[in-house]
Amino acid sequence: MTDLTALTIAEARDALRNRSITAPDLTEALIAAIEAGRPLNAFVHETFDLARQQAEAAQRRLDAGMAPDLCGIPIGIKDLFCMEGVPTQAASRILEGFRPPYESTVTQQLRKAGAVTMGKLNMDEFAMGSSNETSVYGPAVNPWRRRGDDTPLTPGGSSGGSAAAVAAGLCLAATGTDTGGSIRQPAAFTGIVGLKPTYGRVSRWGIVAFASSLDQAGPMTRTVRDAAILLSAMAGHDPLDSTSADLPVPDYEAMLTGDIRGKVIGIPREYRMDGMPEAIEALWARGREMLADAGATIRDISLPHTKYALPAYYVIAPAEASSNLARYDGVRYGRRARLAQGDGIIEMYEKTRAEGFGPEVQRRVMIGTYVLSAGFYDAYYNRARRVRTLIRRDFEQAFASGVDAILTPAPPRPLPPRAALRGSGADVSQRRVHGDRQSRRSAGDQRAGGAGCRGAAARSPAHRASLGGGGSAEHRPGDRSPGRVLGKAGEVVVGSPVQGAGR
């Protein structure tokens, strides 16, 4: 019998429609896989009773011949998306016990499409991290190992639980969010497909905020086709989100023609970082060759303000985070610290936030508060915003010159062992201040994120052997699909260490 956990969304959809499998049977197979895969620490809140109810309802829709593409498909939800009555903590102690009284727009749309939600997935606390180390639940574990070495590996972050669950066959797909690489980098580290849509394409309403001008939700799947199917259900205008794009949602799956003849792929000179390992450079070169063999034209381009992207990101993101996280005070929801006799409201704020936030979140809040202070607002925050405009202009000029997509390394360094990253929160924070290991792991993604481009990281045949990362392609903001630019070649190519942006 077919291993139901190995099915793609497209395969499961077809099998459900032709009645060779049922939604309850598929759901039970995934429940068994999740139970067996608990050592990976990918799922942090299991919703099996809800999943069984949804599977039965999906089967009734299938039997009636009224089934959308996702009807009966088991998926996982990153712990950043509010689900009514389901614990939603953003992997933080400060939201301990919080059960939202409402549903995020994304999960509501997935439910309407008939998806079966298996539970909430691990992540870095408030999406601040690139290794899943900062989670209050403990780190998720990459299901892959290097050949001949059983050392546990990080799945990346912040959507590490989503990436690990999809790669391990614990769900057929998962939601993720991307602020500075949090979909693309873990997709690259686990050999799956991750897509950060154009900013505004997917509603942010009901998603716990990190940096509001950068956050964007997207699909994490096993194939490019599956990403197209899931994005079609997630995307759409939402009047509850003032930044939501009022654009029709195209049929992304139908746009996967596989024909990239005549497309122009840009290779930015500035993305060749000092110290980039030969393995990453070789995979990047192989990606270029494969695209050229498929009929694309490869062109060297320049994105001159690239070197300023990382500093700008680490001003803008913490600034917005410090503002967004001010709402966690112990008064309205979540954890409240135990107070001593005589403590007032100020002591309650201080103790609650000190106990509730981990070291990395505290660090970013302090940085953000500093750059927003009266004496430094213009010197840091406003300057970073101006730099972001210049970075966006670089991408716009590249696309205006006829470039359809930009191929770059997603993580410019190989996947690190989890053991090498493990440490107390203080140790982790110290390592990141001195040497900024996290920045180097996500540098390629953070450079493009501020421009508002969509970005896709996809798998390649080389991934399993190298574990060197995945590829990414950046695309111009708008309603064209990366698949329309790269087609099926994206599945073959983008997944060396390559990411892409395109128009």
pLDDT tens digits along 209-220: 999 999 999 999
Beta pairing class for 116-121 and 216-221: unpaired
pLDDT of residue 214: 98
Domain membership flag for residue 54:
yes
State how far the Cα of 157 lies from the Cα of 127, in Å rounded to an integer. Answer: 8
pLDDT of residue 314: 96
SS3 of 292, please? helix
CA dihedral 45, 28, 20, 76 (to 10 degrees): 10
Statement: residue 289 has pLDDT above 50: yes
Average pLDDT on 180-189 reads: 96
Query: Confidence band (pLDDT; 50, 70, 90) for 474?
Result: low
pLDDT of residue 415: 73
Query: Confidence band (pLDDT; 50, 70, 90) for 410?
Result: confident
Average pLDDT on 449-475 reads: 58
Residues with a known catalytic role: 78, 158, 182
Least confident of 55-64, 149-158, 491-500: 491-500
pLDDT of residue 16: 98
Domain membership flag for residue 379:
no
Statement: residue 330 has pLDDT above 70: yes
Average pLDDT on 13-21 reads: 98
> DSSP for 139-166?
----S---TT----B---SSSHHHHHHH
pTM: 0.88
pLDDT of residue 502: 47
45, with CB counted inside 10 A (0-12, 13-18, 19+), is middle
Average pLDDT on 2-11 reads: 96
pLDDT of residue 456: 82
Report CA 196 to chain centroid distance, whole Å. Answer: 7
pLDDT of residue 434: 29
Domain membership flag for residue 112:
yes
- Residue that has been written with the tokens 């694309």 in this structure: 296
CA distances for 344 relative to 93, 182, 337, 340, 348, angstroms: 22, 38, 12, 9, 6
Query: Confidence band (pLDDT; 50, 70, 90) for 273?
Result: confident
- Residue that has been written with the tokens 């993720």 in this structure: 176
Average pLDDT on 149-176 reads: 97
Instruction: Work out the mean pLDDT of the chain and round it to a whole number.
Output: 88
Q: Would you say 334 and 94 are in contact if contact means Cβ atoms under 8 Å apart? A: yes
Span 83-133, pLDDT tens digits: 999 999 999 999 999 999 999 999 999 999 999 999 999 999 999 999 999
Domain membership flag for residue 338:
no
> Domain with 139 in it: what CATH number?
3.90.1300.10
Domain membership flag for residue 377:
no
Query: Confidence band (pLDDT; 50, 70, 90) for 429?
Result: very low
Span 247-272, pLDDT tens digits: 999 999 999 998 999 999 999 999 98
pLDDT of residue 428: 31
Average pLDDT on 368-393 reads: 97
pLDDT of residue 400: 97
Q: Would you say 23 and 72 are in contact if contact means Cβ atoms under 8 Å apart? A: yes
Domain membership flag for residue 100:
yes
Average pLDDT on 185-200 reads: 96
pLDDT of residue 457: 78
Domain membership flag for residue 268:
yes
Residue 472 belongs to domain spanning: 1-303+393-503
Statement: residue 422 has pLDDT above 60: no
Other beta carbons less than 10 A from residue 445's beta carbon:
31
Domain count, the chain: 1
Domain membership flag for residue 372:
no
Distance, first Cα to last Cα, the chain = 42
Nearest to 54 by CA among 86, 15, 81, 89: 86
CA distances for 265 relative to 168, 330, 483, 487, angstroms: 32, 50, 13, 13
Highest mean pLDDT among 1-10, 142-151, 375-384, 453-462: 375-384
pLDDT of residue 417: 67
Average pLDDT on 482-502 reads: 40
Query: Which two three-digit tokens encode residue 358?
Result: 């981990």
